[in-house]
Amino acid sequence: MNRNLVKEIISKKKIAVLFGGCSSEYNVSLSSAYSVIQHINTDKYEVVLIGITKEGEWYLFEDHIDRIKDNTWEEATNKKVTISVSREDHGLIIFEGNNIEKVRVDGIYPVLHGKNGEDGTVQGLCELAGIPVIGCDMLSSALCMDKQLAHDVVAQVGVKVPRGIVITENLEEELILDRIRDLNFPLYIKPMRAGSSFGITKVQDISEVYDAVILALKHDSTVIIEENIEGFEVGCAILGNGNEIIIGEVDEIELSDGFFDFTEKYTLKSSKIHMPARIDEDMAKKVKKEAIKIYKALKCKNFARVDMFITTDKEIVFNEVNTIPGCTSHSRYPNMLKGIGITFDEFINRAIGMVIDDDSKINEEQFI
């Protein structure tokens, strides 16, 4: 057998990329996945694409990836697929008519934002099946998705968090207003477990609170109400594990009005992102130190984006962690890594490699 062919057979590992999702952030996932797929090193990895519809149906996708970008991918697939929970299979089950095919994969890369993708559900399924996940695991994903749990954990390691309260049921207006009486306006009213700022409202006075709570409850059964932090938001891109952690340049969000909601995140109509942030070197070091402390406290793995505030008093306050940050060429996370010389290609392939590649050698001679 040709030695070069043997090398390719031995070295290529199979990665399943999940995109779409049963989530309000479905379209965001399509954009991220399109970029991620383009930058995977196909000389090293074989890619299997799995699309998840808004209704939660899973399909094998084998057509051109432009259909993902254009959101026409569902028209080009009819093979249903699922992750096998049998560790012996270590992969996927594909259904085509009366035929069933099992496909072994070496890792699963969920490029899914929000509920049913970034919250530990898919990660838990992969862990049950014994398949490595590219990204954070079930525990860290679930912790980071729950804003109050994340704040509780981070506070325990000495990082400041915003003051706030949690509403766990649809209370009457009088009870809600009574519970917030010790908080100072303006307030942010947020779904506990949602991403891309869906369902978040900034309220200036008590008359706006109840309607904002009702809106947030459309996205989750639990709502968190937090005091506004006077200052500005910064972010840190973290890549790696343990003592082998890389942290990108700190970036900064400059707002002219309101807050960094869904529209602003993806259009930047009235806001700017400064990378690097307009802070001095000492403050940048402090931000990075706190980001690593948060990353480790929440048991994050492989990569995540840590968002914080710098107050007008130069204090650092935790905001949230995005375990599957936006991954287009214009997204914050890859641009922060670009600031220290790591290209998009390098990030994607390092993220995959640190999970599924190892130092073990297969003897090529046995295949010749």
**Position 260 in a domain:** yes
Are residue 92 and residue 125 in the same domain, yes or no?
Answer: yes
**Position 56 in a domain:** yes
Are residue 268 and residue 347 in the same domain, yes or no?
Answer: yes
Domain that holds residue 11: 3-134
pLDDT per residue as tens digits for the range 163-190: 999 988 777 888 889 999 999 999 999 9
- Reading the block at residue 136, the tokens are 């954070």
- Reading the block at residue 322, the tokens are 């995005």
pTM > 0.75: yes
Are residue 76 and residue 205 in the same domain, yes or no?
Answer: no
Task: Give how many domains the chain has, as a whole number.
Answer: 3
The contacts found for 197-206 with CB under 8 angstroms, 24 or more apart, are 197/259, 197/260, 197/261, 197/262, 197/265, 198/24, 198/25, 198/114, 198/262, 200/259, 200/261, 202/228, 202/258, 202/259, 206/177, 206/180
Q: Tell me the C-alpha distance between 195 and 347, whole Å.
A: 22
pLDDT per residue as tens digits for the range 26-59: 999 999 999 999 999 999 999 999 999 999 999 9
- Reading the block at residue 339, the tokens are 């600031």
Confidence of residue 264 (pLDDT cuts 50, 70, 90): very low
Are residue 294 and residue 347 in the same domain, yes or no?
Answer: yes
**Position 348 in a domain:** yes
228-267 residues labelled b (16+ CB within 10 A) or e (exposed)? bbebbbbbbbbbbeeeeeebbbbbbbeeeeebbbbebbbe
Are residue 208 and residue 268 in the same domain, yes or no?
Answer: no
pLDDT per residue as tens digits for the range 278-320: 999 999 999 999 999 999 999 999 999 999 999 999 999 999 9
Are residue 240 and residue 199 in the same domain, yes or no?
Answer: no
Are residue 39 and residue 77 in the same domain, yes or no?
Answer: yes
Are residue 208 and residue 252 in the same domain, yes or no?
Answer: no
Are residue 205 and residue 257 in the same domain, yes or no?
Answer: no
Question: What does the mean pLDDT of the chain come to?
Answer: 90
**Position 364 in a domain:** no
Q: What number is the average pLDDT over the span 103-113?
A: 97
**Position 359 in a domain:** no
Q: Would you say 275 and 336 are in contact if contact means Cβ atoms under 8 Å apart?
A: yes
CATH number of the domain within which 40 lies = 3.40.50.20
**Position 368 in a domain:** no
